[in-house]
Structure formats: structure tokens, C-alpha cells
Structure 1
């Protein structure tokens, strides 16, 4: 796998005529022609990715949702206001999570165009090989690799802005489906926490009611032996539901803990605009930088707002709306915090003589 070495091809930034702090980029013909291909790739779906693991995930989600609705919400809360609200929120979260999961499975995460080649004249950050300093090239695919792209041994191809290969979706998480993956984690975690809370609340309610009914049990005979209680009779009538709730709670508890931890980890990466691969590469880069007496900063960290916009898009209204559109950009080049610093420095040099 290629090293995360990065260099700035143009040491002197060119300022756009508008006077803003953005770098004026010379459009690459290959990158421009490939942009439309990337957009078209986001609409390509593949049903061949459905395997036993994917169907297993769908089955677990369906089992937990059905058990909570039929065995908890309906008999416990019924059609009351709390019951309708809990049913509505759980259904919405589960439905959106399932839609995002399907997007993660069927969407192409982003492939490198056949005619892609790095443009040495463009004012973009270019990742190079550690030893030779040449442009990154995939020997297995036989083509150049854009920045942040990596070869997946499972998919047997290079994936744009590859985060990792997820066996649960039987697909890579990359440029085109990263937003869908993040939204899936958010909504499925919310649904799992909600379902586990209802299961635990109903279990506590059942134990309390069972204890109260035992205190008021009907007794008969000289010895006053209890012959039965309404709670025991109800338990026998609903033995199957009780087993379903027990199994569902046993599945939901570790699943919810795992999802919460996974969501926190991925939110940490997203807020710093890092992929899982870049995080591990960054650890090595920090160690090497410390040995050399320098500091290391992730080149694609654009700040909190910039990182969120780069992943979720410019429109705040659509940040939590699952769409088939990819993240910002074409996946072949990415804005860098280094470019922003150079742009601000260059604009400061232009303003100082003018007394601005």
C-alpha cells in the first residue's frame, strides 16, 4: 500500500480574480472528463452484493423491530399518545436506516477512471510514493491512483477515498457511499437505543406487576396455598412473546453497545476528515515526524465546518437526508488545509501594500 507522503506541486499559489482566498486551479482535462463518470457511477447499483451476511443483517433488524412493536409497544402502550409516538419514531428511524443500508450495499463506492492521470500543473495536493517521490500507481490495477484512493483486496480494484471494506454491507465504504454509511450508523444507533430502552422498560414494568400480583394472589384450602395468579396465567398465555423478548434483549444489548462505539469512532474520523486507513497511516506519520523533530498535521483537515461540508454537502437541510448523491467533489482531488493556509497567506501579502 502506498505511503501517505504528500507534497504541494506548486509552491506559489495563484489568487483568483475575485480576490478570495481560494487557489485558482487549472482544470485537468482528464479530471474534468472523469468527473461526469464519477457522477454516473453513483447511480450504478449492483444486486450481486446481496449475500448471507447482508440478509442476516436485514433479518436481525426486522426481528428486533417486529418484537418491539408486537411484544412491547402494542400490548404495553397500545394506541395511547406514548404508544403512537414511540411507534412513529421507531418506525422512522428503522425505515431510514434500512434505506441507507441498502444504499451502502448497492452503490458503487467510486472507481478510478481508466484514463485518469495526475496533473502536475494543477494547484492540488498530490500524494506520492515514499521512496521514489513518484505519483502513486497501482500495480494490480495497472493505473494511477488519485489521492486518498486505495486498492481493496476483496473488491480487487482501487476505490476512491477508500475508508474500509465492510463485510456487513459486502462492499467498500468510499467516496460515493460514505455519507450513506454515516447516516446508516446514526439512524440505526438511534433505533437500537430506542428499542433497547423499550425492552428494558417493559421488562421492569412486567417484574413490578408480577410482584404486585403475587402479593394479591388468590389463596384456598386450610393451608392457604396459592393456586395461581393472574401474572402466571398471563405468562403461560404469552410464553412465546416472553421468549422473543428475552432473545431480542440478548441481541439488542451487545448490538447497541457496539453500534454506539462504532458511531463515536466514525464521528471522530468524520470531524477530522479522516478515513480509517488515513488514521492508521497518520499514526505512523506522527511517529516519523517526531523522530525528525517536526510536526504532522492531517492535510485534508479543513476545520470543523469545512469537514462537515466536505462530507455532507453545502446544504444544511440535506445533511441528515439520505440521498444517492455522492459527497462533494469528483473523488479525484480534494481540498486541503495547506491550500487554505497558502491562500490566506498570499491574500495577506496582496492586501498589505494596499493598506487593507
Structure 2
């Protein structure tokens, strides 16, 4: 059933893009620069192949992992259900009711119109993995963006290095020059795009936010300023604690997309109020 997610034009596009970048980087740019048979060429091929393999692995984990669904038996805690309505509206951490699913949804869960269900700690629905990015596959999504960014920058460096040493004055094929320029522009654009996305999710991780919560927080902060109050994201526990809550307490496993032993059920999350 999960394999049907691969039957998507966007996922096919990702496979084609990765395949094109890998082929051109290895068999054209590295070959033209130092040659595949040289020690420098072999080393660069090994490094780049390793990066692409990590990228593919994270991509498969993202696609095949269920981001997290709300159990049918889920009901809010008795303590929460007894909170007055006014207090519940003020506290964004309280459980809410989903009108579309006709059931309760836990804190940080949101309804996805594409998946037609509520997703635990939903960040967004990503067409490039044909899946939601949620509680169970957010780490894999982050590592995917990280490895893809490093790989695209690596490919860009290979193109630049090959272009610098190439004797363009005596090159007879204009089409080959156009290919180099087009590939260089494409890889620079891809590196900037992925780098920006990586920077965005690093920001979210160090603040323990999702994309949805960020935009909700912008509005909440604006309303708080209007009433002369201050707003703080309720799940912000400080930079290091926030990172460990998302990536895990073991730094050696931060970049492993399947190291998820630190995750629990995704129904409850510690808040800054819990420390008071």
C-alpha cells in the first residue's frame, strides 16, 4: 500500500533529477576534471556516491514512513477537558476537535486536506515525497534536505573546478559550452533553493516549531502585542533541548533518519509551562 506513493509524477521527477545530477557530475564533470581512473577522481566519485546514497535512503524513509495518525481511541485528558472555555482558547496546547474527522486531535496535530486525515505534529504536506511531513518522518525529511543540499553544493564545486581547468579557447563544440553553463546555473539555483529550505528547518528545529506553528505564532504574537502582552512558543525549551527533542539525545545518531527511539506516541509534548 505504501509503495503506491511512488506512483507520482513529482516523485518520478525527483528520481530523474537525482539521476541526471549524479550522471553528469560523475561521468562528465569529474571525468573531464581529473578522470575517473585517477586517485582524485575515484575519491570524488566515492564521496559523491555516498552522499547520493544517503539522499536516496532518506528519501525512501520519507515516502514510506507514516507521518503519524491519531488513534481512534484518542480522547483528551480529563484534566484538559475540565479547563474553562476561555482558558482553552488562550492555551494553544490544549487538545482540539477536528470537524472534518469528527474526532479529537492531540496538541500539534493538524488535518491534512490532501491525506484527508489528521497528522501528528504536522509540518506540511510535501508533493515531492507524496506524503505529509509529520511526527514520524520529520527527521528523515530534515536529513533528506541536508544531504541533498550538501550533494548539490558538491556537484556545483565539481562543475566550477572542471570549468576552470578546461581550455575553452580551443573547444570546438559550442553546444558543450552551453551544456556547461546551463548545468552550472541549474546547480547553483538548486543549491540556493535547498540551502534556503535547510536554513528554514534548522530555524524551526532550534525553536521546536513546525511550519504551521510558525505562522500560527506570528498571528499569536501580533494579537499579544495588541493587548500589551508577550508571546512565547509553548514548546520552546532552549536550543539544545529543542534539537534533542527532534533529532534525539545521541549526537552520533542525529543524521540517521531511522534513529527514532527517542520519539514516543506523538500525542503529548512537554511545554515550557511544565517547568514552572
Work out whether the TM-score is over 0.5: yes
Deviation digits for residues 247-283 of structure 1 (CA, Å, limit 9, x no counterpart): 4334322111111111111110111000000000000
The gaps in structure 2 that reach 5 residues or longer are none
Please name the residue that 2:2 is paired with.
46
Displacement of 1:324 in angstroms is: 6.4
Please name the residue that 1:56 is paired with.
13
Measured in 1, the distance between the counterparts of 2:102 and 2:91 equals 18
The gaps in structure 1 that reach 5 residues or longer are 1-44, 215-230, 343-356
Give 3-state SS (helix, strand or coil) of 2:78's partner. Answer: coil
Measured in 2, the distance between the counterparts of 1:320 and 1:90 equals 17
Please name the residue that 1:145 is paired with.
105
Out of 66, 71, 84, the residue aligned to residue 23 of structure 2 is: 66
Please name the residue that 1:22 is paired with.
none
* Structure 2 contact 33–161 (Cα < 8 Å) conserved: no
Measured in 2, the distance between the counterparts of 1:337 and 1:135 equals 17
Structure of greater Rg: 1
Please name the residue that 2:254 is paired with.
319
* 1:181-200 equivalence runs, <5 A: 181-200=141-160
CA RMSD of aligned residues (A): 2.5
Out of 45, 49, 62, the residue aligned to residue 91 of structure 1 is: 49
Measured in 2, the distance between the counterparts of 1:318 and 1:116 equals 31
Q: How many residue pairs get matched? A: 269
Measured in 2, the distance between the counterparts of 1:210 and 1:161 equals 53
Q: Higher RCO, 1 or 2 (CA under 8 Å, sep at least 6)?
A: 1
Deviation digits for residues 156-185 of structure 1 (CA, Å, limit 9, x no counterpart): 000000001111111110000000000001
Measured in 2, the distance between the counterparts of 1:132 and 1:86 equals 53
Please name the residue that 1:25 is paired with.
none
Displacement of 1:77 in angstroms is: 1.2
Q: Does 1:281 align with 2:216?
A: yes
Measured in 2, the distance between the counterparts of 1:141 and 1:86 equals 51
* Structure 2 contact 123–133 (Cα < 8 Å) conserved: yes
* 1:188-337 equivalence runs, <5 A: 188-206=148-166, 209-211=167-169, 214=170, 231-232=171-172, 235=173, 244-323=179-258, 325=260, 328-337=263-272
* Structure 2 contact 76–95 (Cα < 8 Å) conserved: yes
Give 3-state SS (helix, strand or coil) of 1:311's partner. Answer: helix
Give 3-state SS (helix, strand or coil) of 1:130's partner. Answer: helix
* Structure 2 contact 62–129 (Cα < 8 Å) conserved: yes
